[in-house]
Amino acid sequence: MLLPLQQGVLYGPVKSRRYGLSLGINLMPGGYKLCSLNCVYCHYGLTAVCTTDMKPHEVDLPRVGTVARAFEEKLRSSARIDVITFSGNGEPTLHPRFPEMVDEVVRLRDKHRPSARVVLLSNSTGLASEAVRKSLAKIDLPILKLDVGTEKAFKMINRPSRQVRFEDIVHRLTGLQNIYLQTVFVDGEQSNTSRSDIIAWMALIRNIRPREVHMYSIDRPVPSTEITLVSPARLEEIASVAYRQTGVTVKAFYAKRSTLGA
Ligand code: SF4
C-alpha cells in the first residue's frame, strides 16, 4: 500500500531510519498531493496537482500562525522528538511563506527542544526563491534531491511540472554551501543506474560538492509498476565508485547502513 497522505500540518513523531523519532511538518494541503515533481517512486503516489504555482492553492495551505500553534503545543507535550522534519504532501519550500515558517520553527525549537535538529527534505525546485535559499542556512540538515545527471533522465524519473528546468536546479545547487544531497535509485523500465547515468550524476556531485550524499532505493510500494528496487549490493557499488570519483562522503541506506568516507 502507498503511504496515506497527511491530513494536517503535523504528523508523528515517526521512526526515521536515519534520525530517530521525527516530528513531521506538512506545509502542503491536507489530503492531496501538491508538488512540482511527480517522481515515479513517490511513496505518496501520483502527484494530484503538479506545479510550482501556489497561487490557486493558497487557500488550502496552512498559515504561519496555525503551524506555529500546533507545533508549540506538540513541543510542550511529553512526546520524544529527535528531529523536526519539513516534508509531507509535496514540496515544502513552495509554500509562499516558507522562510517565515523556518524562522518560527527554529525559534520554538530553541525555546522548547534545543537539542532537536531541524531537517528539510526538499526536491530542490523551491531554490528558485532567494529567500528560500537564504533560509537553508538556518536549517540543521538541508537535504536536497538530485536523482539524476541529465535533463532526459530528470524528465523520466522525476517528471517535473512544465515550469521546472533541470539546468536551473543544478545551477542553484552548485551555488549553495553545506547542503546534503539525496538520491533515489530505481531500476526497471525507468532506471537511473546505467553506467552513463552514474557518470553524469557523479559529474554534478563533483561540482556541487555537498557535505554528503545519501543514497536510497525504494523500500515501499510505489505508483509505477515499471520500476524495481536497486539491490543493496548495487547501491554499495555505486557509493564506492562515487566516493572514489568525487571525494564526497557517500552513504548508502537500506536495511543495514553503509558509510564511505565519513
Ligand atoms: S518530490 Fe517528493 S513528494 Fe514530490 S513527487 Fe517526488 S518524492 Fe513525491
What's the mean pLDDT in 201-225? 92
DSSP notation for 111-180: HH-TTSEEEEEE-SGGGGSHHHHHHGGGSSEEEEE---SSHHHHHHHT---TT--HHHHHHHHHT-SS-E
Neighbours of 5 (CB within 10 A): 18
In a domain, residue 44? The reply is: yes
In a domain, residue 135? The reply is: yes
Task: Evaluate: CB of 246 within 6 angstroms of ligand 1.
Answer: no
Is the model's pLDDT at 262 over the cut of 50?
no
Q: How far does residue 37's CA lie from ligand 1's centre (Å)? A: 6
* pLDDT for position 18: 80
* 171 backbone dihedrals φ, ψ, rounded to 5°: -60, -45
Among the ranges given (5-19, 28-42, 140-154), the one the predictor scored with the smallest mean pLDDT: 5-19
In a domain, residue 37? The reply is: yes
Task: Evaluate: CB of 90 within 6 angstroms of ligand 1.
Answer: yes
In a domain, residue 3? The reply is: no
pLDDT more than 70, % of the chain: 97
Count of domains observed in the chain = 1
CATH of the domain at 72: 3.20.20.70
pLDDT band at 260 (very low <50, low <70, confident <90, very high): low
Is the model's pLDDT at 261 over the cut of 80?
no
Is the model's pLDDT at 258 over the cut of 60?
no
> For residue 75, which of 34, 118, 39, 17 has the smallest C-alpha distance?
118
| Residue 89 alpha carbon, nearest atom of ligand 1 | 3
Is the model's pLDDT at 138 over the cut of 90?
yes
Distance CA 135, CA 157 (A): 28
Q: How far does residue 109's CA lie from ligand 1's centre (Å)? A: 26
What is the residue range of 173's domain? 10-260
Q: What residue owns the CA closest to ligand 1's atom 3?
A: 90
Q: How far does residue 35's CA lie from ligand 1's centre (Å)? A: 7
Q: How far does residue 42's CA lie from ligand 1's centre (Å)? A: 5
In a domain, residue 86? The reply is: yes
Q: Regarding predicted confidence, which is higher, 83 or 255?
A: 83
* pLDDT for position 198: 98
Question: How deeply is 73 buried, as exposed, middle or buried, from its count of CB atoms within 10 A (0-12, 13-18, 19+)?
Answer: exposed
In a domain, residue 4? The reply is: no
Q: How far does residue 121's CA lie from ligand 1's centre (Å)? A: 10
CA atoms within 13 A on the CB side of 118: 21
Distance CA 178, CA 40 (A): 28
Task: Evaluate: CB of 88 within 6 angstroms of ligand 1.
Answer: no
Q: What residue owns the CA closest to ligand 1's atom 8?
A: 42
What's the mean pLDDT in 112-140? 98
What mean pLDDT value characterizes the chain? Answer: 95
pLDDT band at 206 (very low <50, low <70, confident <90, very high): very high
Place of cell 564511505: 260
In a domain, residue 24? The reply is: yes
Is the model's pLDDT at 230 over the cut of 60?
yes
Task: Evaluate: CB of 28 within 6 angstroms of ligand 1.
Answer: no
In a domain, residue 98? The reply is: yes
